[in-house]
Structure 1
């Protein structure tokens, strides 16, 4: 869900609000209640929540799979080294 920056033209109050794109336009300032609350042009920002995102589900799997592969090859090397030394 996108986070938008809003500023009141009358009192100067500024807020970052989490809003759906389909939500109605917010015009009333939460501080002075005048209809001068406007969306500002700013760098895009958003919040990732829930599962299904790279950070929560996939980021560490590549490290885990390579670590598992390394331990398997080490185990095989240890087994072959012990059988050849015996």
Structure 2
């Protein structure tokens, strides 16, 4: 299951939540109780595995 980061626009509370793709996004802040949550999107690290990704690789 993916981990989403939420931040409250009202109080600034930030937390992580495990959710499946099919679940609706959370709306209510667990800290202040207001319906002001937003998902935060962070950069994702990409790892390339295998040959062909480096300038010194040779095509066979």
User: Is the structural similarity TM-score above 0.5?
Assistant: yes
Moved over 2 A (4+): none
Deviation at residue 24 of structure 1 after TM alignment: 1.4
| Match of residue 15 from structure 1 | 15
Question: How far apart in 2 are the matches of 1:28 and 1:39?
Answer: 12
Question: How far apart in 2 are the matches of 1:43 and 1:19?
Answer: 19
Q: Does 1:34 align with 2:37?
A: no
| Match of residue 2 from structure 2 | 2
Unaligned runs of 5+ in 2: 45-60
Question: How far apart in 1 are the matches of 2:43 and 2:19?
Answer: 15
RMSD over aligned Cα, in angstroms? 1.6
Aligned residues: 45
| TM-score, with length taken from structure 1 | 0.48
Unaligned runs of 5+ in 1: 45-86
| TM-score, with length taken from structure 2 | 0.68
Structure (1 or 2) with the greater strand fraction: 2
Structure (1 or 2) with the greater helix fraction: 1
